[in-house]
């Protein structure tokens, strides 16, 4: 390995360490954003090192959010292009795996819920533009793959995915992270995973006429 390649690999490893440490702290702090100082201490790095990669804690968590959503786009591609399956089977396969993923990663949706009012409002204009551009590039690629796989018109894939995300965020804010003993009239809180699974099946089946 050349010195340059080593340096690049080392920088990427350090960046990943920062994100993983931030994710762990976010989960243990009950949804609050840890400070750069807390992340640096937990990661065994100096604050100055953190600032080489990210200028604010919001930039750290915006990057973490982007990386956390990326596997979902991979699931979409895997399920929607499966050969020898009906469209209904592919839709059910994607919805099933999508719900399992987000239900297994509650911190993702907690962080996603902070994106507009907390993360984006406290990022510099340049950082926000770069973040949105990176997300849109990944979403656009997944959208075009979806359109190709299902024979959809241009733009329809993007529309389907953004609405799927909005529905997921809305249901999480309604049913996710239930507070203990807050059921009323003897009625339990709706189960988020069940509600999301049924809602997304209805949405995708209706949108694709299957």
Domain boundaries defined on the chain: 1-53, 57-208
pLDDT at 32: 85
Q: Find out if CATH 1.10.357.10 is the number for domain 57-208.
A: yes
d(C-alpha 36, C-alpha 125), whole Å: 20
Residue showing tokens 């960046």: 15
Q: Which CATH architecture has domain 1-53?
A: Orthogonal Bundle (1.10)
pLDDT for the residue numbered 40: 97
Q: What's the 3-state SS for the chain?
A: CCHHHHHHHHHHHHHHHHHHHHHHHHHHCCCCCCCHHHHHHHHCCCHHHHHHHCCCHHHHHHHHHHHHHHHHHHHHHHHHCCCCCCHHHHHHHHHHHHHHHHHHCHHHHHHHHCHHHHHHHHCCHHHHHHHHHHHHHHHHHHHHHHHHHHCCCCCHHHHHHHHHHHHHHHHHHHHCCCCCCCCECCECCCCHHHHHHHHHHHHHHHHHCC
Segment 44-47 long-range contacts (CB within 8 Å, at least 24 positions apart): 45/14, 45/17, 45/18
pLDDT of residue 2: 60
Read off the tokens for 203: 């949405």
Residue 208: alpha-carbon gap to chain centroid: 24
What burial letters (b/e) apply to 113-151, b meaning 16+ CB within 10 Å? bbbeebbeebbeeebbeebeeebeebbeebbebbbebbe
- Can you give the pLDDT at residue 176? 81
- Within the chain, which residues score under 70 in pLDDT? 1-6, 31, 178-189
């Amino acid at each position: 390995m050349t010195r340059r390649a080593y340096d690049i690999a080392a920088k990427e490893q350090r960046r990943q360490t920062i994100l993983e440490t931030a994710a762990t702290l976010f989960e243990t702090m009950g949804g609050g954003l840890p400070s750069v100082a807390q992340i640096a201490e937990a990661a065994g790095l100096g604050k100055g090192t953190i600032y080489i990669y990210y200028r604010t804690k919001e930039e750290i968590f915006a990057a973490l959010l982007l990386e956390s959503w990326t596997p979902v786009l991979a699931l979409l591609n895997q399920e929607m292009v499966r050969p020898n399956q009906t469209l209904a089977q592919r839709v059910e396969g994607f919805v099933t795996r999508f719900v399992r993923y987000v239900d297994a990663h509650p911190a993702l949706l907690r962080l996603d819920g902070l994106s507009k009012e907390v993360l984006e409002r406290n990022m510099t204009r340049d950082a926000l533009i770069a973040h949105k551009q990176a997300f849109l590039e990944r979403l656009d690629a997944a959208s075009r793959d979806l359109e190709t796989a299902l024979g959809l018109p241009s733009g329809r894939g993007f529309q389907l995915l953004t609405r799927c995300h909005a529905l997921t965020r809305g249901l999480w804010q309604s049913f996710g992270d239930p507070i203990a003993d807050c059921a009323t009239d003897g009625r339990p809180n709706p189960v988020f995973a069940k509600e999301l699974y049924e809602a997304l099946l209805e949405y995708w089946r209706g949108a694709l006429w299957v």
